[in-house]
Amino acid sequence: MAAVRAADAERILVDGVLNEAVWQRAVPATDFLQFDPLTGEPATERTEVRIVYTRSTWYMGVHCFDSEPDRLLRFQRRRDEFLQSDDRFMWVIDPFLSAQNGYFFETNPSGLMGDALLGPGISNRQWDGIWNLAVHRDDTGWSLEIAIPFTTLNFDPKADAWGINFQRTVRRKNEESLWYGWARNQGLHRLSNTGLLTGMNQEVSQGRGLDIRPFGLVSADASPGTGAPSTTTSGKAGVDVFYSVTPGLRANFTLNTDFAQTEVDQRQVNLTQFPLFFPEKRAFFLEGAGFFDFGTGGSTDVLPFFSRRIGLNDSGVPQPIAYGAKLIGQVGAGDVGVLHVRTADSDGVAGESFSVFRAKQRRRQSYLGGLYAVRLPGGDARARETAGADFQLVTSEFRGRENLSLAGYAIHTTNPKDAGPSGAYELRVDYPNDRWEAGMAYRRVDEHFTPSMGFTLRTGYQRYSPRLRFNPRPLNHPFVRLLGFGGTGDLQTDMNNQPLTRLWTLTLLSLDTHGQDRYNFIVLPEYERLNAPFKIYPGITLPIGGEYAFTRYRVAIGTASRRLFAVSPKVEWGNFYSGSRQQYIVDLTARLRPGVIIYSSAEYNRVRLKEGAFETRVFRLSPELQFNQWVSLVNTVQYDSVSAVLGWQSRFRWILTPGNDLYVVYTHNWLNDVGLDRWTTMNRRAASKVVYTARF
């Protein structure tokens, strides 16, 4: 499709109504084809997409015709919420035709704004680009106007063509349709299957490429649980500076960084031998995080770089961040990421320096990359380094139109005690296709592998991971849309090939209906040999050397998210180490009306072992008021019986204009003090933060 350059005197009012004359000069992209359910058939509802631009702004006008406009689903309004329940329109942009990196955007009939940065196998939704949209609903369906300033995007102003694609969801029909890439093995996020947008090189400007984003923060804190019951108030100011060094390369400097607006982690109860993984949620580290991703295939078991380690000392105590600098983007056919952060001295603990260098050379869908990370502790401590190389060879033309990939990595870390090998290695082959999916992976992690800025689930093991799945689609079945049968293996041994873990996840039946409900029945045979004592619960420890073979069974159901009340219960039962375990989980979402949504979940574990018995409970309640696409209030209440802590966070966000935000956040934690037979306050904090963006 061709974009139309608007005349300098023409103006577009972003109100969702495509009544400006320039829209009529743009030839629309139409003829969407179904991805699901009837692959390759014309979409049942017509969609028209037009693109125009001025010197400073890229505009898109979309008309989603609908034969039943009164049945549109549009519950979500809050920025970056997922749209499993709603009608939606999504699009991706690949300005450099890299087939790997790009931008993702989505909206719904309520005007929700969602966006993400795309990379090989990743979608970073924490990126909040500065753009605007408006939606208009009438008896023909719904239409939208989108305005994205060129300063928001990295692109080559001299390039005539960009990669682009569109996808529309008609939720009540469970229908997905795309402009390009509608085959089962393709899809919207596969940037190698985009169409072309031409005519993009007629006098466009990214300005000076400079954004200055100062912030101000006031807070009040008290921690009665740690002997500081008095409330202390404080103020803080800082700034983020963004500069486009080249059209594809962007620098970011942050001073006196604060993360007061960050959402709380979701509570979990850990009944495994290994640490839980909590994802990064801080904006500075999430923006452009894809440029630092290493080729682990989406697994978090081995990460040479995990930004959440920055700002925590070796004892897990938080340290304030004094400043940070980042350079990310594209240079020719390569991707680069450079990060340096300095933490401040705090409570007698010296600050540290963290640096990461990442580079990838792309060729179509494949790449070869390298990573180097160094952590410099305060004082005379020795620098701790990590170096790695990774690769991915991908084709979407295997046997004609099938996907096949070969990938792997090698990582080495310094070993402070010089006690032995300290590397990690993996090689994997994947065949991810419709109907048949298969794969095999091998991983080795040495006993002394210690990535000082990374994350490791365990060390001193080898892992073999076979995978096979068959997904038939019954023709013309009145109820069933998709079936699934298959199994995955997690087979781990020590360095002498003696078994440590053997877990098979056998899907005996997975069933998706036309009504968007899902049913699963899974069997999990497992073997564990403990190479260390396992403290599974306070006062209950399984001994080193213990060997256990047991089988568990799981039934999981998920009702369609589009329903007023959507419920997802899961029951798991069977043997567990030296005894038995019953697990019950239920997630319930009530979508009472557009913008009024209540999320809730509960988990109960009943464990009976020879060494002792215990029960655990986790509860979570999160009511949301989404007044419009700019203003929202989210409350999150959580409790788990292991810590006996009840937590509440109330988070108000007002997007005054795109790029300018007001946050008000209150957090309160109570301990269920059995000795006092009452709830006591551990800590509480109120904070208000204002962020302003000036663009040049």
State the average pLDDT over residues 543-547: 93
Residue at 499 is within a domain: no
User: What percent of the chain lies above the pLDDT cut of 90?
Assistant: 72
State the average pLDDT over residues 148-165: 90
Residue at 146 is within a domain: yes
| pLDDT number for residue 207 | 82
Question: DSSP 3-state helix, strand, coil percentages of the chain (rounded to 5)?
Answer: 5, 55, 40
Asked if pLDDT for residue 435 goes beyond 70, the answer is yes
Q: Where are the beta strands (DSSP E) in 95-248?
A: 102-107, 114-119, 122-124, 132-138, 141-149, 162-170, 175-178, 195-197, 210-223, 228-246
Q: Check which CATH number belongs to the domain holding 97 and give it.
A: 2.60.40.1190
Which is more confidently placed, 602 or 280?
Answer: 602
- List pLDDT tens digits, range 449-481: 999 899 999 999 999 999 999 999 998 899 999
Contacts of 655 (CB under 8 A, 6+ apart): 79, 629, 630, 631, 661
Domain residue limits at 119: 4-197
pLDDT band at 509 (very low <50, low <70, confident <90, very high): very high
Residue at 147 is within a domain: yes
Residue at 284 is within a domain: no
Cα torsion 274, 276, 279, 280: sign: negative
Mean pLDDT of the chain: 92
pLDDT band at 667 (very low <50, low <70, confident <90, very high): very high
- SS3 of residue 614 by DSSP: strand
Q: CA-to-CA distance for 237 and 53, rounded, in angstroms?
A: 37
| pLDDT number for residue 185 | 84
| pLDDT number for residue 315 | 63
- List pLDDT tens digits, range 171-185: 999 999 999 999 888
144 touches 133 (CB < 8 A): yes
45 touches 141 (CB < 8 A): yes
Residue at 13 is within a domain: yes
Q: CA-to-CA distance for 493 and 462, rounded, in angstroms?
A: 5
Say which amino acid occupies 129.
G
Asked if pLDDT for residue 347 goes beyond 80, the answer is no
- List pLDDT tens digits, range 634-651: 999 999 999 999 999 999
| pLDDT number for residue 18 | 95
pLDDT band at 314 (very low <50, low <70, confident <90, very high): low
Q: CA-to-CA distance for 650 and 664, rounded, in angstroms?
A: 8
Largest CA-CA distance found in the chain, in angstroms, rounded: 81
| pLDDT number for residue 396 | 84
* Complete DSSP assignment for 219-288: EEEEEGGGTEEEEEEEEEEEEEEEEEEETTEEEEEEES---TTPPPPPP----SSS--------HHHHTT
Q: Given the DSSP bridges, would you call strands 518-529 and 499-513 parallel, antiparallel or unpaired?
A: antiparallel
| pLDDT number for residue 260 | 65
Give me the number of domains the chain comprises.
1
Paired tokens of 259 = 């993360």
Q: Rounded to the nearest 5°, which phi and psi values hold at 180? A: -130, 165
Q: CA-to-CA distance for 566 and 554, rounded, in angstroms?
A: 20
- List pLDDT tens digits, range 70-87: 999 999 999 999 999 999
108 touches 85 (CB < 8 A): no
Q: In the structure, how many helices (H) and strands (E) does the chain have?
A: 2, 42
Per the listing, tokens 């999150």 go with 636
Q: CA-to-CA distance for 656 and 375, rounded, in angstroms?
A: 39
Residue at 589 is within a domain: no
Q: CA-to-CA distance for 108 and 76, rounded, in angstroms?
A: 8
Q: Rounded to the nearest 5°, which phi and psi values hold at 308? A: -70, -15
- Cα distances from 613 to residues 540, 541, 544, 618, 642, in angstroms, run 8, 11, 19, 17, 14
pLDDT band at 289 (very low <50, low <70, confident <90, very high): confident
Q: CA-to-CA distance for 135 and 256, rounded, in angstroms?
A: 38
pLDDT band at 316 (very low <50, low <70, confident <90, very high): low
The answer to whether the predicted template modeling score (pTM) of the entire model surpasses 0.85 is yes
120 touches 392 (CB < 8 A): yes
Residue at 488 is within a domain: no
Q: Rounded to the nearest 5°, which phi and psi values hold at 458? A: -155, 165
Residue at 502 is within a domain: no
Paired tokens of 653 = 């966000």
Per the listing, tokens 């319930």 go with 588
State the average pLDDT over residues 535-552: 94
For Cα atoms 112, 121, 459, give the angle at the middle one, nearest 5 degrees. Answer: 125
124 touches 291 (CB < 8 A): no
Per the listing, tokens 């002394």 go with 448
Q: Give the range among 295-299, 472-476, 563-567 with minimum mean pLDDT.
A: 295-299
Paired tokens of 551 = 């089988």
Asked if pLDDT for residue 580 goes beyond 90, the answer is yes
Q: CA-to-CA distance for 67 and 137, rounded, in angstroms?
A: 13
State the average pLDDT over residues 225-240: 89
| pLDDT number for residue 98 | 85
Q: CA-to-CA distance for 244 and 462, rounded, in angstroms?
A: 44
| pLDDT number for residue 19 | 94
Q: Is 590 exposed, middle or buried (0-12, 13-18, 19+ CB in 10 A)?
A: middle
86 touches 74 (CB < 8 A): yes
521 touches 554 (CB < 8 A): yes
- Buried b / exposed e over 139-173, threshold 16 CB at 10 Å, is eebbbbbbbbbbbbbbbbeeeebbbbbbbbbbbbb
What count of Cα atoms within 13 Å lies in the side-chain half-sphere of residue 468? 3
- Cα distances from 437 to residues 393, 467, 474, in angstroms, run 17, 8, 18
Asked if pLDDT for residue 196 goes beyond 70, the answer is yes
Instruction: Please choose, from the candidates 537, 460, 465, 476, the residue with its C-alpha nearest in 3D space to the C-alpha of residue 502.
Output: 465
Q: What is the CA radius of gyration of the chain?
A: 26
State the average pLDDT over residues 283-311: 86
pLDDT band at 283 (very low <50, low <70, confident <90, very high): confident
Query: Prior bond to 37 cis, omega within 30?
Result: yes
- Cα distances from 348 to residues 1, 44, 314, 345, 351, in angstroms, run 61, 66, 14, 7, 9
Instruction: Please choose, from the candidates 146, 136, 137, 141, the residue with its C-alpha nearest in 3D space to the C-alpha of residue 166.
Output: 146
